[in-house]
Amino acid sequence: MSETFTIRRQVEFNHCDPAGIVFYPRYFEMISAVQERFFADALGMGWDRMISGTGMATPMGQIDCRFHAPSRLGDWLDLSLGVKRIGRASASFVITCTSGDERRFTCQATVIHADLAQGTSTAWPAQMRNAMTRYLIAKTPD
């Protein structure tokens, strides 16, 4: 049985564009925020400790995003993260954003566990890998 990790944000003036809707690059700051809290709170390895303590980081390898409906000032957004795949030195997340019953965007993101100085990928520590496993999205049978 899998868990989902969720944060809640309200759309602010600074997220909105002259068309009165969320400017989509701001969504990527929220996507970053849900991953940031996931590493800190669910995996026990905040990015500050990761960077300054171990010289590692989790740069984005690829990200695909579908936008379903616009968001407006004051909307409450729930951003949920599930783990789709855990690789040796990478992980793929599915991040969905809803406001009430309405989906706003769906995103798949693959991050690399990388050594900042060397620029090389490095296997996840066992503890982080194990913690991530709890959030693996159950595969649906074909």
| Contact positions vs its own copies (CB under 8 A) | 12-14, 16-21, 23-26, 28-29, 31-33, 36, 40, 46-48, 51-52, 57, 59-67, 70, 72-74, 116, 119
Q: How far apart are CA 65 and CA 61, in angstroms?
A: 14
Query: CB of residue 88 vs its own copies: minimum separation in angstroms?
Result: 19
CB 92 within 8 A of CB 84: yes
Nearer to its own copies, 3 or 48 (CB): 48
Nearer to its own copies, 65 or 136 (CB): 65
Query: CB of residue 138 vs its own copies: minimum separation in angstroms?
Result: 25
**Residue from 49, 61, 52, 117 nearest 89 by CA:** 61
For residue 19, how many other CB atoms are within 10 A of its CB? 8
Beta strand spans in 11-139 (E): 56-57, 60-67, 76-86, 90-99, 102-112, 114-115, 120-121
Nearer to its own copies, 40 or 137 (CB): 40
Nearer to its own copies, 52 or 140 (CB): 52
